[in-house]
Amino acid sequence: MKHRYLIIPLLFIFFQAESQPQWINVRESGADDSGQVKCTDVIRHLIDSLAEKGGGTLYFPSGTFLTGPIIMRTNITLYLDAGAVIRFSDDFDDYLPMVPTRWEEVRVKNFLSPIYAYRSRNMSIRGDGHFEGQGHRWWDAWFSVRRGEMTGSKWQEYFINENEELLKKNEHLQRTGYLLRPPLLTMYECQDILIEGVSFSNPPFWTLMPAFCDNVTITGITIENPGESPNTDGIDISSCRNVHISNCHISVGDDCIVIKSGRDEDGREANRPTENVTITNCTMLKGHGGVVIGSEMSGDVRRVAISNCTFEGTDRGIRLKTMRGRGGVIEDVRVSNVVMYNIVDDGITINLRYQPADPEPFSERTPVVRNIHISDMIIRNAGRAITIYGLEESVVSQVSFRDMEISARKGILIEHSSGISFNDVRMNIAEGSLVDCHHSSELSFDKLSTGTLKSNIPFYTFTECSMVRVSNNYFPGELNRFIEADDKCGTIYLVNNILPHARLLSTSKKETVIIGSNEPE
């Protein structure tokens, strides 16, 4: 009678054990760890078997595992222990058949990525191990295509056949040469993704690209690609919602972190914005840009917060770029507590003229940038401090800069903008005016100061600007003229500026300058 009561707890333990997530060691399941024998089939079989049981963890112990593409599925975790290296094959045939993806923000069928997932959820890639993309053969092929030396290969023909209808209408793809290198990781139309702790190097193309995904967390990872490697961006967020990037270290051959949402007509047709993005506590070394939005942002980018990051040696720090033909809106972006050092070109740039194009009437092809707020920033040793380039038909609007310390070769350049404000900005520049503005309106400059301006250079230069407020500025040195403004400028207000050795406040017509309580000598 007593033994009968043991059945229920034993059954409970049995069913509890059966419901526990599975954990499989790839080496103990037949995967070679010498790096000499491909483990593609073993890994794929193990992932499939885990998925059939509801999910689980595929564990890679210390060792080198050579493989073709790893296709992730719902409820699967890859866990790489310290010393584990997954080295991806550089045999292009391993990445066939072609699958749905995005390439430079156009929806295509292309090579499988070395890590690929499609319409799956609750996936993790974790641990202390490393993913080696072996991208050199891909890079060499791309250079050959660009030189016209590789044409009509079986992979190019495969791509053409898979994208026949798209190629008839997409001019951008027509210019690519049809050998499109895949990102190292693509998660496509997925949700609930975690990438944590691991490192990546030498991707065929971009490194990580979640596209059309929701709830993406990337934390504590390292990406290191050679400076000369082509298009090896670090993280490219493509039409995703609710993205969290933190505690990452990135040094690459192109942009470090990029936010995108589709290219031109295809991006507007997909109509999927990137929104609700946080980027924090990251370091970026070499690369074309530290954090970049665009240029492919035709589906809109909105609600982005960037904070507590350090950039060193990137070409640009914060970069928003777009152009005529893109369409789309970039709005509600906040950047704070960022330190930049040795920036080759611009510390901050907002550019709606990324590539030249003739003016055109405002339409769905016209990009819009508005409501950008930047504060608490140090920029040391940049080529130029800040540039803002709007369009005649679409000015950059409502941008604020507050509490900044900047040293640069050149100062601030603004064109075709409105509602731009600066407050408490301390600058040291080597050449030119501190601020140079053209074809802009509703500008406010409060508490700007410098100690390095040459006496024959004006503090401000304005061309065809109106409704300008200059207040509480300070310059202790000799100054021939505070403001130089052309005859097409509208009202300029000068209020409470402290300029003990300025000879002339403004060269503008007297009726356009309203002066109140300034202190020239």
Catalytic residues: 254, 288
- How many Å apart are CA 222 and CA 231, to the nearest integer? 17
- How many Å apart are CA 220 and CA 13, to the nearest integer? 36
- How many Å apart are CA 403 and CA 14, to the nearest integer? 62
- How many Å apart are CA 374 and CA 401, to the nearest integer? 5
Listing DSSP states for 365-388 in one string gives: T--EEEEEEEEEEEEEEEEEEEEE
Q: Please name every residue paired with 231 in a beta bridge, in sequence order, or none if there are none.
A: none
- How many Å apart are CA 225 and CA 240, to the nearest integer? 24
- How many Å apart are CA 360 and CA 375, to the nearest integer? 34
- Which tokens is 334 given? 């906040």
Q: What are phi and psi of 289, to 5 degrees?
A: -145, 150
What is the β-pairing status of strands 283-284 and 301-312?
Answer: parallel
Burial of residue 8 (CB within 10 Å: 0-12, 13-18, 19+) is: exposed
The conformational region for residue 129 under phi > 0 = left, psi -120 to 50 = alpha, else beta, is beta
The conformational region for residue 325 under phi > 0 = left, psi -120 to 50 = alpha, else beta, is left
Specify whether the CB–CB gap between 40 and 69 falls below 8 A.
Answer: yes
Q: Tell me how far apart the 2 most distant CA atoms of the chain are, in Å.
A: 108
Specify whether the CB–CB gap between 180 and 206 falls below 8 A.
Answer: no
- How many Å apart are CA 289 and CA 383, to the nearest integer? 14
